[in-house]
Amino acid sequence: MNKATEANFDGLVGPTHNYSGLSFGNVASLNNSTRASNPKAAAKQGLTKMKALADMGFVQGVLAPHERPHIPTLRKLGFAGSDTKVLEQVTKQAPKLLAAVSSASCMWTANAATVSPSGDTSDGRVHFTPANLINKFHRSIEHETTGAILQATFKDEIHFSHHNALPNVDHFGDEGAANHTRFCDQYGEQGIEFFVYGMEAFNQDSPRPTKFPARHTLEASQAVARAHGLSDKQVVYAQQNPAVIDAGVFHNDVIAVGNRNTHFYHQEAFLDTAKMKQDLLKAWGDRASQFHLIEVPSNRISIEDCVQSYLFNSQLLSRGDNDMVLVVPGECENNSTVWNYLNELVEGQSPINEIKMFDLKQSMSNGGGPACLRLRVVLTDAECKAVNPSTLMSNTLFERLNQWVDKHYRDELREADLADPQLLLESHTALDELTQILNLGSVYEFQR
Ligand SMILES: NCCC[C@H](NC(=O)CCC(=O)O)C(=O)O
């Protein structure tokens, strides 16, 4: 077994971060659709979390934002002429479309891709499949650039294998790592990959939500498991409880989080909790007593409190064997039921023995907590050395990115501002400079 560690790659918030109510089924996105955003504060809140984790000794990387408004999409949809002309026309004819192609939603890199570490894959490489995010138009335009950025970050073909996104249809709706968790004893050994889905696409009679969409299908997860070369006995599937999707749990990472030998989840998260436990314990094998199932009962914390506080959208990080820290959003402290629970949890017998809290309000107001903002990539020492070093957080990079944000970002943005041709120019200038800072090459269409 190779020694390995879990790295976190956070999405850097882009200059057009705004609230426009694009995500039906995501309570925060719908509730905040008329508010002004603060892109500068949003980017800095994210950077503060990344830096704090790097300072705690974790490997922390940065994934660049995408070009927005995305003019190439508007051109595909028939708008023509200069960029300014395109903006002018779309503003007049289809303002909601402009909002959709302007979203900074690629910041939530838990949805960027599904990643399988080399310990799990048949060819011994780390595999990446960008998520097609087909359920929301504004997110369905992410996967190509995501793929380009992942390839510029994890370049070496000896260590890294990059797949295309799955077919762009609802049957293969894929929301990436937000619905994927890996359990293991040590990171470098073969682990259990746990795929959670919202519905079975090819089985009309199977249970599914009635109010909000199930974004992710079983068939998508199966395709990713095949493409990554995972062995059947190391893969476990579980269906989300349709009722919690209808209550605002649009991704499983709003209601469950896992790391190594610990699964922390809500009693109502899964359609069949007993089966989920049985399947995980079976895959875990003969050391079942070392696997921790921390189930939060409904009479302790309601689904509504989970959705409001984002308790489970936390990062569960190992500082050593049986020593984990839970990184939660500030909203958890403001909810006394959740806060009391967390204090009891760290004092109890579970491996979770510290809580760290971050102010991520700008992202939270669009339904993205600490876990949404990061893509986990388990890397051996050799793989870690092969990562593009300019993307790894350090004192220098932290300072450089803060200066970059100060120079290029606005501190207030409303939906109406998205029509401003100056914003497009600012965004291109900023991203062009960023590709140099992160040494990414020409990953954006406007650079080619
Ligand atoms: N993992 C968290 C994802 C949050 C994301 N929100 C958004 O896209 C909201 C954008 C807006 O409404 O402006 C989503 O729902 O997929």
**pLDDT tens readout for residues 431-442:** 999 999 999 999
114 bridge partner residues: 129
Determine whether 158 is exposed, middle or buried from the number of CB atoms within 10 Å of its CB (0-12, 13-18, 19+). Answer: exposed
**pLDDT (0 to 100) of residue 2:** 86
Ligand 1 atom with the smallest distance to the CA of 175 is 16
The protein residue with its alpha carbon nearest to ligand 1, atom 2, reads 368
309 labelled binding-site residue: no
**Residue 289's pLDDT is what?**
83
Answer whether 38's CB lies under 8 Å from 91's CB: no
Q: Which residues are catalytic?
A: 175, 251, 372
Ligand 1 center to residue 53 CA distance, Å?
A: 24
For residue 136, the ligand 1 atom closest to its alpha carbon is 16
Atom of ligand 1 nearest to the CA of 254: 1
**What is the average pLDDT across 401-414?**
98
The verdict on whether residue 345 carries a ligand-binding annotation is no
pLDDT in tens, 262-287: 999 999 999 999 999 999 999 999 88
Distance 368 CA to ligand 1 centre (A): 7
- 121 C-alpha vs ligand 1 centroid, how far in Å? 31
Distance from residue 27's CA to the centre of ligand 1 (Å): 10
> How far separated are the first and last CA of the chain, in Å rounded?
42
Is 24 annotated to bind a ligand? Reply is yes
Mutation probe of ligand 1 site: the residue of 18, 22, 114, 372 with most atoms within 8 A of C-beta: 22
Contact status, residue 250 vs residue 215, Cβ threshold 8 Å: yes
**Residue 22 among known ligand-binding residues:** yes
441's torsion region: left (phi>0), alpha (psi -120 to 50) or beta? left
Residue 291's pLDDT band, with cuts at 50, 70 and 90, is very high
| Interatomic CA distance for residues 324 and 343, integer angstroms | 14
